[in-house]
Amino acid sequence: MKPIINYVDLFCGAGGLTLGFENKGFNNIFSLDVDQNFLKTYKYNFPNHNIIEEDIKLLTEKRVLKLIANTEVDVLAGGPPCQGFSIAGNIGRKFLSDPRNYLFEEFIRLTSIINPKFVVIENVERLYRNKIIKDEIINSLNKLGYTVDCKVLNTVDFRIPQKRRRVFFIASRVNKEIIFPFKSSNIDKTIKEAIGDLPKLNSGMRSDVENHEAMNHSHQMLEKMSYVKDGGDRFSIPKKIRPLTGDVRKYIRYNSNEPSICITGDMRKVFHYSQNRALTVRELARIQTFPDKFIFKGPKISQQQQIGNAVPPLLAEYVASAIIEMNENGK
């Protein structure tokens, strides 16, 4: 019988990483976030989890130790939001000491208190490209006795229908070598494969599928959409009505024969490959590999943000498998 792997999920959001870990048999000790709408979704889908709804900086050492209740935590995981990229490396100012990045600093603080076997940090790719920041994070974990490595994982390499590149830091205090998930497929999964079987919807229509409800677009927006073909962009729209925007991700149409572009917290101006509307919450969730039984709660824009901020559950499963292998090797 394989040992149970206990984990804590900080900045859990709606629960994408949680779902992947649960699917691999991990046991949740507690999860934490501050966004009430995100946690409505988390609580609905994980009703038996111990959920802490407060700012991480308010968690004292005494409270943390009470929460884990003498349980050995195998994995501490999370994706601390950070905004201080631009000034990182300036003389006299370090990344972790930047007030805007206190969440990262708090993550390291909780690591020192919980002392897990493994640490998993997920974040945006540009953090990986900044050597000063990357080294500072690695050094902060090294000082706590961890072997650390980091790697950018692209979701398309794991049959996830989306081009999404994220950096993962994996740290271990029981292994000398860090294991990352290996590319599982050379064949991309297209957006059409992922969502093509869902009921067709016009603007403003509902369906019997949970979270599959089309946004109600204006006549002006629908006219603009009509000019953009499968895989096309705003330059197909006549100049007299073409929106002026520097964002190349707006007023484009998904390419049915390719994986989706990266799902973010606002996809309202990216159009379905064949239907004149933005994608529904359920379609976005499928692209992120959430199953249809995973229900999103809260306002519609919050639901999109929940999905866009999440670690795709299938990718989390691959990361969990790497942790399982390291745990077995580290005995």
Q: Each residue of 213-251: b (16+ CB within 10 Å) or e?
A: bbbebeeebeebbebbeeebebeebeeeeeeeeeeeeeb
Residue 124: CB atoms within 10 Å: 14
| Residue 91, pLDDT score | 41
The yes-or-no verdict on residue 101 having pLDDT over 90 is no
The catalytic site residues sit at 82
pLDDT digits (tens, 9 = 90+) for 251-262: 999 999 999 999
Mean pLDDT of 40-47: 98
pTM: 0.94
| Residue 247, pLDDT score | 82
Q: Which two tokens stand for residue 23?
A: 């699917």
**Residue 15, CA atoms < 13 Å, CB-side half-sphere:** 26
| Mean pLDDT for the chain overall | 93
- Cα dihedral across residues 212, 218, 221, 227: positive or negative: positive
* 127 or 222, higher pLDDT: 222
pLDDT digits (tens, 9 = 90+) for 135-154: 999 999 999 999 999 999 99
| Residue 2, pLDDT score | 75
| Residue 87, pLDDT score | 39
pLDDT digits (tens, 9 = 90+) for 4-23: 999 999 999 999 999 999 99
Of 100-104, 235-239, 241-245, the poorest mean pLDDT is in 100-104
- In 3-state terms, what secondary structure has residue 72? coil
- In 3-state terms, what secondary structure has residue 60? coil
What CATH superfamily classification does 6-183+312-329 receive?
A: Vaccinia Virus protein VP39 (3.40.50.150)
